[in-house]
Amino acid sequence: MIEDGVIDVATGDSVRLQVDKDVITSCEMGAGEHLAIFRNRFAPAGMDIDAALAAGTPRLCLVTGIHGDELEGQYLCYEVARRIREHPEYLTGVVDIYPALNPLGVGAISRGIPQFDLDMNRIFPGNNAASPYESMAADVVASLTGATLVVDTHASNIYLREIPQIRVNETVRDRLLPWALEAGADFVWVHADATVLRGTLAYSLNARNTPTLVLEMGVGMRITQEYGEQLAEGFFNLMRRAGAWTGPVAPVRRPIVSTDGQVSFLNAEAAGLFVPVARHDHGVKKDQLIGNILDPADGTVLQELRSPVDGLLFTLREYPIVYPGSLIARVLGMNGEA
């Protein structure tokens, strides 16, 4: 039944689910068009949500689509919503899904906001007295602030493929690491504060004492279904940990935890065609061949790229055309913290 934007879903034994689709911010555009960012809110039927949240009921937020060419999070959102709908009787908290913070970018397959070449993840926390997009960013931050946990989901770009990983700023390591270990990722990368851009959503929310994990996986403009399913299990594990889910949860893998000092970078020294030899998401040995940069015209190998350490190949070049300085791979050294 659909009534006033609220959908009640009956699933037997009179168990029902409350789903509210809310516009959290909007602005008028040219030619009479209207831009809106919305969320889907899932809660047990009959819950007075405002009163419940004020009383401490847990709220978990799943956010994606800040970059329009990062689609991996779309499938994760689908899986989480689908599983909640299948078993609403287990939902004891509030789950907010924000499927596209940059809907114009998603529609145009553009990383930034189209026409403005603006990276939305550089304008947070926003400003309601500034441009329309900065005002919308401020509304997004206001909507998320105070959540029990926010999972900010990204994919890689079209050039690189990443294993499911969570990136944590070292300044909030103690607060975020207990959550990160339960999220179902393969790898938790604790990185230096100097590498964090202060205009990001995660930085802005963590600065407001709203715990926010940055989740990255897969490759740009694609869906890696197994990653989405793996991390959906992780999200339900987080829900259970927060007290928002009472249903059974599959065991999640314990990730490797590492810092910047344990990650080695391989970059191209020549322009050419990169052809991988090693397999992504597999262990490699020191001096093992990762791949070659080839000269298609001359039929020669311009550069052999070999692993500098024993470790895990967690980033690998996906797009074959490279130039000097192009990132080819990242390897996590085996001295990573288990």
Mean pLDDT on 230-242: 98
SS3 content of the chain, % helix, strand, coil (to 5): 25, 35, 35
Q: Binning pLDDT at 50, 70 and 90, where does residue 192 land? A: confident
Whole-model pTM over 0.95: no
Using omega within 30 degrees of 0 as the cis cutoff, is the peptide bond preceding 125 cis? yes
Mean pLDDT value across the chain: 92
The percent of residues above 70 in pLDDT, for the chain, comes to: 93
Residues near 23 by beta carbon (within 8 Å), at least 6 away in sequence: 36, 37, 38
Q: How far is CA 262 from the centre of its chain?
A: 22
Of the two residues 32 and 100, the one the predictor is more confident about is 100
Q: What is the pLDDT of residue 262?
A: 87
Mean pLDDT on 196-222: 94
Whether the per-residue pLDDT at 11 is higher than 70: the answer is no
Mean pLDDT on 223-238: 97
- Residue 242 parent element (H or E): helix 225-242
Q: Encode 30-67: b = buried (16+ Cβ within 10 Å), e = exposed.
A: eeeeebebbbbbbbbbebeeeebbeeebbbbbbbbbbb
The whole-angstrom separation of Cα 100 and Cα 186 is 25
Mean pLDDT on 155-168: 96
Whether the per-residue pLDDT at 49 is higher than 90: the answer is yes
Whether the per-residue pLDDT at 250 is higher than 60: the answer is yes
Q: What is the pLDDT of residue 338?
A: 32
Q: What is the pLDDT of residue 336?
A: 45
Whether the per-residue pLDDT at 85 is higher than 50: the answer is yes
Mean pLDDT on 167-177: 95
The percent of residues above 90 in pLDDT, for the chain, comes to: 83
Q: What is the pLDDT of residue 68?
A: 94
Whether the per-residue pLDDT at 56 is higher than 60: the answer is yes
Q: What is the pLDDT of residue 15?
A: 58
Whether the per-residue pLDDT at 30 is higher than 80: the answer is no
Q: Binning pLDDT at 50, 70 and 90, where does residue 196 land? A: low
Q: How far is CA 17 from the centre of its chain?
A: 26
